[in-house]
């Protein structure tokens, strides 16, 4: 049985730069060590974008395989994290396109996500409002994928506009426009009365 991600042999003192260099030279253990640091966040992102754990698990494997195959072309123009996130967003979009082409695709509901509340104190108080939380997940699920990507990266993942735009493969102006549309669609779906009643 394989060990858990990140549990293979590590070299004390490894930096991200040294791991990238070793991975580019064909060291798959270094690649795993490098990418393990982001594995949980990548998986969480895929859960948000795809909605179903089984799909997220499958796509997460594909993301890592694509990253491994492409690591030789990584030039460091962006951070490794940004580069890996972009692959994840691309793979999620491919998976959504495949799902859309399936004639009898099973609708994915927010109940499948089974996500925990944030560790942040104040936002978690809001998230304890189960009705609001369910409404947010439904509205998020119903967004077109390009709008969902924008709001997940910026508002849930908490990335900067610059990083989120790069990951989404957009210029900053285009990204901001999508984010604005996504937030308006979410507000419309949930209703301002419900949002204001949540105490935000």
Partner 1 sequence: MDDHRWTQQRISQYFDSELTGHGRRRFDRHAQRCAECSRAVRAMRALIYAMQGLGGPAGVHAPATIFSRVRLAGAAGPGSPEQA
Q: Which of the residues 61 through 120 are near partner 1 (CB under 8 A)? A: 61-62, 64-66, 68-75, 77, 83, 86-87, 90, 115-120
Q: Which residues, including other chains, have CB under 8 Å from residue 172's CB and lie 6 or more apart? A: 161, 162, 165
Q: How far is the CB of 161 from partner 1 (least distance, A)?
A: 6
In order, the DSSP letters of 141-167 are HHS-HHHHHHHIIIIIS---HHHHHHH
Which residue matches tokens 């994915």? 108
Does position 37 bind partner 1 by CB under 8 A?
no
The window from 13-21, 96-104, 122-130, 141-149 that contacts partner 1 (CB under 8 A) reads: 122-130
Cβ distance to partner 1 smaller for residue 64 or 96: 64
Output 81 or 104, the one with its CB closest to partner 1.
81
- The encoded tokens of residue 186 equal 């979410």
Residue with tokens 């972009």: 86
Which of 200, 187, 89, 193 is closest to 136 using CA atoms?
187
Determine which helix (DSSP H) or strand (DSSP E) holds 46, and give its type and residue range: helix 28-50
In the set 16, 17, 21, 28, which binds partner 1 (CB under 8 A)? Answer: 28
The verdict on 176 binding partner 1 (CB under 8 A) reads yes
CB of 135 to partner 1, least distance (A): 9
Measured from the CB atom, is 43 or 96 closer to partner 1? 43
CB 152 within 8 A of CB 143: no
* Interface with partner 1 (CB under 8 A), residue from 17, 26, 97, 171: 26
In this structure, is the dihedral angle defined by the CA atoms of residues 133, 136, 142 and 148, taken in order, positive or negative?
negative
Between 4 and 104, name the residue whose CB sits nearer to partner 1.
4
Find out whether 155 and 200 touch, Cβ atoms under 8 Å: no
Q: CB of residue 104 vs partner 1: minimum separation in angstroms?
A: 26
Restricting to residues 132-161, which ones interact with partner 1 according to CB under 8 A? Answer: 132-133, 136-137, 151, 154-158, 161
The count of chain residues that interact with partner 1, using the rule CB under 8 A, is 76
């Amino acid at each position: 049985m394989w060990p858990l991600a990140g549990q293979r042999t590590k070299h004390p003192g490894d930096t991200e730069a040294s791991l990238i260099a070793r991975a580019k030279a064909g060291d798959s253990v270094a690649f795993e060590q490098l990418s393990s640091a982001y594995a949980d966040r990548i998986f969480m992102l895929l859960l948000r974008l795809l909605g179903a754990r089984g799909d997220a698990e499958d796509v997460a494997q594909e993301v890592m395989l694509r990253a491994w195959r492409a690591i030789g072309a990584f030039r460091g123009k962006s951070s490794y994290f940004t580069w890996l996130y972009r692959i994840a967003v691309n793979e999620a979009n491919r998976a959504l396109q495949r799902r859309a082409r399936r004639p009898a695709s099973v609708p994915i509901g927010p109940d499948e996500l089974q996500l925990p509340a944030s560790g942040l104190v104040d936002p978690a108080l809001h998230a304890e409002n189960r009705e609001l939380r369910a409404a947010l997940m439904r509205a998020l699920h119903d967004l077109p994928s390009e709008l969902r990507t924008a709001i997940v990266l910026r508002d849930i993942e908490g990335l900067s506009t610059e990083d989120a735009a790069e990951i989404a493969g957009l210029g900053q102006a285009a990204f901001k426009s999508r984010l604005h549309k996504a937030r308006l669609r979410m507000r419309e779906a949930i209703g301002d009365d419900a949002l204001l009643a949540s105490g935000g």
